[in-house]
């Protein structure tokens, strides 16, 4: 089957044009159609030289050269060598009798012939062309769909084949081992067993044990799930099939299922091996309960096929399936039951020590100067995933290259972190002094309030340099904590509202600059009240609903009103509180804003000079000292350390 490409279409168009050109009468501009009456008149006037009658009741009347001018009027120059007119007649019999009469009367002396019309090429063309055209379009669409628009295109007859990438065993150049995965000790330990299975299945089967079918890696994006799966394949030295859940899904019904079958068939041929399905939630989502609504037949049949392949009658041996998702909660229960994905392995965001390890892995290929210390970098990047860290390292190298340095230094890394969190600095953005003052007051508002609230995150720096879409920002070092108390959330909310409160108090106007803050606060308040049960009027209730298509709220209209009220009350309370703090610290706040306008970037130490030592600093250090995040406490706020949680003006 030759591959379809666009030139076919061009060829087809060219053929159509050629056909029209050849079959049309030459001099197509002239009207050669006659009515029967006109025809009779012309014959009676003796214009006709020859008449051909066809079996489809049409007649061609050839015109005598001397009468061409009378028949064709102004167009007579364009008629060519044998000018003729075309006529539809009622019946050949009627024509016969008319012509006989004309001959008798001497009006017509030419010859009459009867012919069969066989426009062979035309008939052929019009019968075949539509089919040809439809096939062409079909091929075109198929190619578009199966090729994903990618270059080269894919044979339309292989849509049902799996698109898995295969990494063969013994491919040492690309081999990834556990050494490449930094941190994630728990997860590594869990998958270690899978490696053992693949290496020595007898050890387990001899005792009657069955080899596990699969493991589900659950965790936020960029935490190294794919990397871990590759490492398993590398360690066990077996072939590795990798594909994404969305690769199964296609517009045609049945393709997904056939791809699953094909994938497992290929895998069984190469067993023992590993199949890795990334983002399995694309196919593994819970099947809908009401088939009439929102059901997705194609996805469901793909999932059913996957379920049977994993643990059906034709159970496979030696094929282990690893899958990754960050939404284990929406997966179908049948997929998670023992015998399929027997184990779930949680791959979490790295903590401080793990981040250090990830930095060590990614710093290796870089040329560093001696100011760089993975430990400090790890402290600067709370909440970063492994992929973010890889990105920081790369970005730092790019920044260093831009400054034409011959080694990457600490400052490059700090700039890279700032850039990744906040976006690119836009020093050239033009602002009026008035705008600048508003932004300074706003950011100083955040800073002042977080300084005086017990549970607010420690401040690192405040800037009014526009970055990304933000006009200014206050940067904090968030605590790495697993649970958050109501007090902490309220204090954060109050600090977030501090920007607008400051604007209102000290400029007398409120502005759109606080929109982002307000959005966050509103969402947070709804979350606290409707999901975390943190309001006095709706205590201990959680209306969280993880079903995808739920059109009804799990609470009554009255409760909805109550939730709205509570949200408003909570936000108003915090706003008033923010105003109180600001009024009490008016002097300090204004000094801070002034300083910010002068220096554009100020650090925690500058704030400390104005307000004195933060009343709660020792307390939070103490808290931090107890936890695993101990090192954070040693972090001196005065080190020029950026960090997380960007409050945008």
Which residue(s) pair with 534 in the sheet?
539
Distances (CA, A) of 294 to 75, 281, 288, 507, 601: 66, 16, 7, 52, 52
User: Which is nearer to ligand ADP, 264 or 384 (by Cβ)?
Assistant: 384
In the complex, least distance from residue 385 CB atom to ligand ADP, rounded to whole angstroms? 6
In the complex, least distance from residue 283 CB atom to ligand ADP, rounded to whole angstroms? 17
- How many CB atoms lie under 10 A from the CB of residue 571? 18
Question: Closest Cα to residue 383, out of 490, 499, 475?
Answer: 475
In the complex, least distance from residue 284 CB atom to ligand ADP, rounded to whole angstroms? 16
User: Which is nearer to ligand ADP, 361 or 596 (by Cβ)?
Assistant: 361
Residue 233 binding ligand ADP, by CB under 6 A:
no
Return the range that interacts with ligand ADP (CB under 6 A); candidates 15-23, 178-186, 573-581, 634-642.
178-186
As a dihedral over the C-alpha atoms of residue 411, residue 414, residue 415, residue 418, rounded to 10 degrees, the angle is: -160
Residue 184 binding ligand ADP, by CB under 6 A:
yes
Count of residues of this chain found to bind ligand ADP when the rule CB under 6 A is applied:
17
Window 275 to 304, contacts with ligand ADP (CB under 6 A): none
Window 389 to 408, contacts with ligand ADP (CB under 6 A): 390
User: How far is the C-alpha of 545 from the C-alpha of 488, rounded, in Å?
Assistant: 25
Return the range that interacts with ligand ADP (CB under 6 A); candidates 162-170, 171-179, 180-188, 455-463.
180-188
In the complex, least distance from residue 174 CB atom to ligand ADP, rounded to whole angstroms? 12
Among the residues of 337-373, which ranges form H helices?
A: 352-363
Residue 361 binding ligand ADP, by CB under 6 A:
yes
Specify whether 443 is catalytic: yes
Window 413 to 472, contacts with ligand ADP (CB under 6 A): none
CA angle 226, 223, 384 (to 5 degrees): 150
Distances (CA, A) of 164 to 170, 198, 267: 18, 20, 10
Evaluate whether 212 touches 318 at the Cβ level (below 8 Å).
no
Q: Cα 197 to chain center, whole Å?
A: 36
In the complex, least distance from residue 205 CB atom to ligand ADP, rounded to whole angstroms? 31
Residue 534 binding ligand ADP, by CB under 6 A:
no
- Three-state secondary-structure class, residue 60: strand
In the complex, least distance from residue 355 CB atom to ligand ADP, rounded to whole angstroms? 9
Given 250, 443, 504, 635, which residue is catalytic? Answer: 443
CA angle 440, 377, 626 (to 5 degrees): 90
DSSP string of 87-147, one letter each residue = EE-S-HHHHHHHHHHHHHHTS--SEEEEE----HHHHHHHHHHHHHHHHHHHHHHHHHHHH
User: Which is nearer to ligand ADP, 227 or 321 (by Cβ)?
Assistant: 227
Closest residue to ligand ADP, based on beta-carbon distance: 386
Instruction: Please give the sequence-ordered ranges of beta strands (E in DSSP) within 151-258, or none if there are none.
Output: 165-167, 214-218, 240-244
Residue 358 binding ligand ADP, by CB under 6 A:
yes
Strands 214-218 and 341-346: parallel
In the complex, least distance from residue 313 CB atom to ligand ADP, rounded to whole angstroms? 32
User: How far is the C-alpha of 513 from the C-alpha of 446, rounded, in Å?
Assistant: 13
Residue 366 binding ligand ADP, by CB under 6 A:
no
Return the range that interacts with ligand ADP (CB under 6 A); candidates 19-27, 177-185, 507-515, 536-544.
177-185
Question: Closest Cα to residue 325, out of 334, 335, 317?
Answer: 335
Return the range that interacts with ligand ADP (CB under 6 A); candidates 32-40, 49-57, 182-190, 467-475.
182-190
Question: Closest Cα to residue 646, out of 467, 515, 425?
Answer: 467
Evaluate whether 499 touches 442 at the Cβ level (below 8 Å).
yes
In the complex, least distance from residue 135 CB atom to ligand ADP, rounded to whole angstroms? 41
Residue 324 binding ligand ADP, by CB under 6 A:
yes
Residue 234 binding ligand ADP, by CB under 6 A:
no
Residue 201: Cβ-neighbour burial (10 angstroms; 0-12, 13-18, 19+): middle
Return the range that interacts with ligand ADP (CB under 6 A); candidates 192-200, 314-322, 386-394, 634-642.
386-394
User: Which is nearer to ligand ADP, 83 or 374 (by Cβ)?
Assistant: 374
In the complex, least distance from residue 222 CB atom to ligand ADP, rounded to whole angstroms? 5
Cα(first)–Cα(last) distance of the chain, in Å? Answer: 61
User: Contact with ligand ADP (CB under 6 A): which of 136, 334, 387, 518?
Assistant: 387
Window 33 to 72, contacts with ligand ADP (CB under 6 A): none
In the complex, least distance from residue 387 CB atom to ligand ADP, rounded to whole angstroms? 3
User: Which is nearer to ligand ADP, 283 or 358 (by Cβ)?
Assistant: 358
Distances (CA, A) of 625 to 97, 219, 476, 630: 119, 27, 18, 4
User: How far is the C-alpha of 248 from the C-alpha of 309, rounded, in Å?
Assistant: 14
Residue 245 binding ligand ADP, by CB under 6 A:
no
Q: Phi and psi for 346 in degrees, rounded to 5?
A: -90, 125
Interface characters, 191-230, with ligand ADP (x: CB under 6 A):
------------------------------xxxxxxx---
Return the range that interacts with ligand ADP (CB under 6 A); candidates 44-52, 176-184, 295-303, 579-587.
176-184
User: Which is nearer to ligand ADP, 227 or 233 (by Cβ)?
Assistant: 227
Q: Which residues bind ligand ADP (CB under 6 A)?
A: 181-184, 221-227, 324, 358, 361, 386-387, 390
- Name the residues annotated as catalytic: 443
């Amino acid at each position: 089957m030759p591959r379809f490409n666009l030139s076919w279409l061009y060829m087809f168009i060219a053929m159509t044009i050629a056909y029209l050109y050849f079959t049309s009468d030459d001099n197509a501009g002239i009207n050669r159609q006659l009515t029967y009456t006109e025809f009779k008149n012309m014959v009676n006037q003796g214009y006709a030289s020859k008449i051909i009658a066809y079996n489809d009741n049409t007649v061609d009347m050839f015109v005598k050269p001397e009468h061409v001018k009378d028949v064709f009027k102004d167009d007579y120059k364009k008629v060519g060598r044998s000018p003729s007119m075309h006529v539809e007649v009622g019946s050949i019999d009627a024509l016969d009798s008319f012509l006989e009469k004309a001959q008798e009367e001497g009006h017509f002396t030419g010859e009459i012939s009867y012919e069969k019309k066989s426009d062979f090429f035309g008939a052929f063309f019009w019968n075949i062309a539509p089919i040809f055209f439809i096939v062409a379009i079909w091929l075109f669409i198929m190619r578009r769909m199966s090729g994903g628009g990618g270059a080269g295109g894919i044979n339309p007859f292989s849509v049902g084949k799996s698109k898995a990438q295969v990494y063969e065993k013994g491919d040492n150049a690309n081999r990834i081992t556990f050494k490449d995965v930094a941190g994630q000790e728990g997860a590594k330990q869990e998958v270690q067993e899978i490696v053992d299975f693949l290496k020595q299945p007898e050890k387990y089967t001899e005792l009657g044990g069955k080899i596990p079918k699969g493991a589900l890696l659950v965790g936020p994006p960029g935490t190294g799930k794919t990397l871990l799966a590759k490492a398993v394949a590398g360690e066990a030295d077996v072939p590795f099939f990798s594909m994404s859940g969305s690769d199964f899904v296609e517009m045609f019904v049945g393709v997904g299922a056939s791809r699953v079958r094909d994938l497992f068939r290929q895998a069984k041929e190469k067993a023992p091996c590993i199949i890795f399905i990334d983002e399995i939630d694309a196919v593994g989502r819970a099947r809908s309960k009401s088939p009439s609504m929102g059901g997705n037949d194609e996805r469901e049949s793909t999932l059913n096929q996957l379920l049977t392949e994993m643990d059906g009658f034709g159970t496979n041996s030696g094929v282990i399936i690893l899958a990754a998702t960050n939404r284990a909660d929406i997966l179908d229960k049948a997929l998670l039951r023992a015998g399929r994905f027997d184990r779930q392995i949680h791959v979490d965001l790295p903590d401080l020590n793990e981040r250090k390890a990830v930095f060590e892995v990614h710093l290796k290929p870089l040329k560093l100067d001696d100011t760089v210390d993975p430990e400090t970098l790890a402290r600067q990047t709370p909440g970063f995933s492994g992929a973010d860290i890889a990105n920081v390292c790369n970005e730092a190298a790019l920044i260093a290259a831009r400054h034409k340095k011959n080694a990457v230094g600490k400052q490059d890394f700090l700039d890279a972190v700032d850039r990744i969190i906040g976006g690119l600095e836009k020093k050239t953005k033009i602002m009026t002094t008035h705008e600048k003052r508003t932004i300074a007051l706003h950011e100083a508002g955040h800073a002042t309030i977080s300084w005086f609230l017990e549970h607010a995150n420690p401040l690192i720096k405040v800037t009014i340099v526009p970055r990304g879409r933000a006009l200014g920002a206050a940067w904090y070092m968030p605590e790495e904590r697993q649970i958050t108390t109501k007090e902490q959330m309220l204090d954060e909310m109050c600090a977030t509202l501090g920007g607008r409160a400051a604007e209102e108090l000290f400029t007398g106007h409120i502005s759109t600059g606080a929109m982002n803050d307000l959005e966050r606060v509103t969402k947070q308040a709804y979350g606290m009240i409707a999901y975390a049960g943190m309001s006095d009027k709706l205590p201990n209730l959680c209306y969280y609903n993880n079903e995808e298509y739920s059109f009804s709220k799990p609470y009554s209209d009255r409760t909805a009103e109550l939730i709205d009220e509570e949200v408003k009350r909570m936000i108003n309370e915090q706003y008033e509180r923010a105003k109180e703090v600001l009024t009490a610290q008016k002097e300090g706040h204004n000094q801070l804003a002034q300083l910010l306008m002068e220096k554009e970037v100020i650090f925690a130490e500058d704030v400390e000079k104005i307000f004195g030592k933060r009343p709660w600093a020792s307390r939070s250090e103490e808290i931090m000292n107890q936890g695993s995040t101990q090192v954070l406490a040693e972090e001196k706020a005065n080190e020029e350390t950026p960090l997380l949680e960007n409050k945008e003006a």
